[in-house]
Structure 1
Amino acid sequence: LLTLQLVKNPDIIAAVAALTSQRPYTVGFAAETEQVEQYAKRKLAEKNLDLICANDVSVAGQGFNSEQNAITVYGKDLTQPLALQDKSALATSLIQLI
């Protein structure tokens, strides 16, 4: 019998977004399997992020174990889908958006 004790990791992005001095522009990522938009918008607000990039990891052919991905970027007044594409092209699209 093996017992594994887990310890909760600190929420680094929330701590960064909470900085009051020299706070950087803060972008989070949410890999979800259901209610993607709802969960992403909640994280955006709860963690006080500038943007959050959400993707549905339950969709075959994108995300984990794939060369392609599709995301939707949410901000306080922004909903910007970025269509399925190679991850390097997606990264370029995201940088241009930021």
Structure 2
Amino acid sequence: MIQNISNGVQAVQQLAMKPTSSEVSSTPANSMESFGSYLEDALNKVADQEQQAKDMSNKFVLGEVNIDEVMISSQQALLSLQLTTQVRNKVIEAYQEIMRTQI
């Protein structure tokens, strides 16, 4: 639990250290590429959390970890998946709204 909090703090610190958009000359192609890589990294992290939850449940069956560790890991994976689903739904809604807009 403490490790996950420290990982979150490190992620926020890394975001704070990134240059702002005024410091980096960005073109639409660069921004699409960076957004694509950001999205890919986020989906990979969700997949990693799901794999970690699966590994924890396997270790529980073998008696290597406690049930509380397994439950925490599985709940984290579930929350990440739910967040990803909600973000996807919002993106689809925004796209549909843009497509309905008359020019």
TM above 0.5, yes or no, is no
TM-score by length of 2: 0.25
TM-score by length of 1: 0.26
Q: Which has the larger Rg? A: 2
Higher helix share: 2
Higher strand share: 1
